[in-house]
Amino acid sequence: MKIQPMSCRLGCGACCIAPSISSPIPGMPNGKKAGERCIQLDNNNLCKLFGDERRPKVCSDFTATLDVCGKTNAQALTLITELEQMT
């Protein structure tokens, strides 16, 4: 199965909500729980730390792919939530 890379959909925010993040995030020193909105996600669902060296490595390393993000923001939230629950 070939993984299909894609461009991140601006304003989606699913990867900043669905997964747990165990590394510190500015404003969230203990990381975040699965399903918890990252404090660095603004009202337009854009990362306030994008391009900032304080952004956690796990966030910088995330690559949007069709199998993880689907075709819509709602699909992305569902798919990433399912992946989080399986791990």
Q: Is residue 9 part of a domain?
A: no
Q: How many CA atoms lie within 13 A of 45 on its CB side?
A: 14
What pLDDT was estimated at residue 79? 96
Q: Is residue 24 part of a domain?
A: yes
What is the rounded distance in angstroms from the CA atom of residue 23 to the CA atom of residue 20?
A: 9
Greatest CA separation for the chain: 39
Q: Is residue 4 part of a domain?
A: no
Q: Is residue 80 part of a domain?
A: yes
Q: Is residue 1 part of a domain?
A: no
Q: Tell me the residue type at 2.
A: K
Q: Is residue 5 part of a domain?
A: no
27 Cβ neighbours under 8 A, 6+ residues apart: 39, 40
Task: Give me the phi and psi of 70, to 5 degrees please.
Answer: 65, -160
Q: Is residue 66 part of a domain?
A: yes
| pLDDT band at residue 4 under the 50/70/90 scheme | confident
Domain that holds residue 61: 14-86
Taking only the tens place, the pLDDT of each residue in 12-63 is 999 999 999 999 999 999 999 999 999 999 999 999 999 999 999 999 999 9
pTM passes above 0.75: yes
Domains contained in the chain, number: 1
Q: Is residue 52 part of a domain?
A: yes
